[in-house]
Structure 1
């Protein structure tokens, strides 16, 4: 949870507000009822503020809570996600034997126009593949191993270096061919309006 909140850069936004109004930590503490030490820790990202704490600070600066959770400046987007920061999830939380595992490659990036995943696809027989659908397009690039994509009731075999682009609203599923898992990069996009 702390990693998700840290992606909003709350401390930097708080410090920017305070410096713009030319208020010291002690004076801000008097207005908010928070200690200067706590405010310093919030600004430096050593402490994650609670919602009531943010609300008190927002009231002092006469901004809404949305100030802390939106990006008001339009700037070039560059978000780096370190390998150690990613989390691995099964295809379904309740699956006793998941068909694949995925890691969101840009989980903390705000205002994404696409989703990118590292997928580890488990070996299965064709009849064990569960199809799924979603809005938008999907792109899959096989990093290693062999993958069979079931798409619109057809199975397409793919090897390392092969890629596929398709409409995600059509039933599709994956399986690793052979006895070893395969890995792939999967990118999905929202539907075009």
Structure 2
């Protein structure tokens, strides 16, 4: 199982090859969260005092955040998001200049995904009508009951997010001890690291996977 799963390869065949950027272009820019907070506040035509009243964050603290003198705690981020009526991703990023909405959308009704069974998993591929996706979402029933059912580690390109929808399972990863995950738990990991799931509940565990 060193080979990347077939359905992931099929999805990636639809994605254009990414041209390598120069070292200068590839350098990540600082987050500058304070500038984002100020831009959002000004876009709503709020003074510091008005933003303070809406968010419950002291005016002096807001001023320090906007001037990059301090970084907001997670509690303050939650207050900013709630008080300014925005989603967390809006606080950390903004559309590229000149970017236009793509209008892409795909609805997958319950049980209407594309089935992809394997000896250890029963995958249901989601959002299959969209091409050139940046991530591959799929729902999985974990049939495996013992790590010995895997001839070798599963590994492939990209990173993966796992959310347990029902049941309990053991997440095996190459460089860590196995960890038990229960309904509502999640994990994020590098897919080039060997990984595998084993159900431990009476019924097969069900998970939502997103591979990027």
Structure-1-length-normalised TM-score: 0.53
- Determine the C-alpha separation between the residues in 1 that align with 2:111 and 2:141: 17
Which of 124, 132, 136 in structure 1 is aligned with 2:158?
136
Structure 2: where are the runs of 5+ without partners?
A: 1-99
Equivalent residues in 2 for 1:16-31 (5 A)? none
- Per mean C-alpha deviation after superposition, the further-off stretch among 154-163 and 124-133 is 124-133
TM-score (norm 2): 0.48
Alignment of 1:2-151 (within 5 A): 75-91=102-118, 98-129=119-150, 130-151=152-173
Structure number with greater CO (CA < 8 Å, separation at least 6) is: 2
Task: Please give the per-residue CA displacement for 1:38-87, whole angstroms capped at 9, x wherever unaligned.
Answer: xxxxxxxxxxxxxxxxxxxxxxxxxxxxxxxxxxx972211222335322
1:89-110 deviation digits (Å, cap 9, x = unpaired)? 113xxxxxx2111011111112
Structure 1 equivalent of residue 178 of structure 2? 155
Aligned length in residues: 111
Instruction: Please list every run of at least 4 consecutive aligned residues from structure 1 whose deviation after the TM superposition is greater than 3 angstroms.
Output: none
Partner of residue 192, structure 2 = 169
Please state how far the C-alpha of 1:172 moved relative to its aligned partner.
Answer: 0.6
Shift of 1:125: 1.8
Contact 2:137 2:208 in 1 (8 A): yes
Q: Does 1:183 align with 2:183?
A: no
Match of 1:24 in 2: none
| RMSD of aligned residue pairs (Cα, Å) | 1.9
Q: Which is higher, the Rg of structure 1 or of structure 2?
A: 1
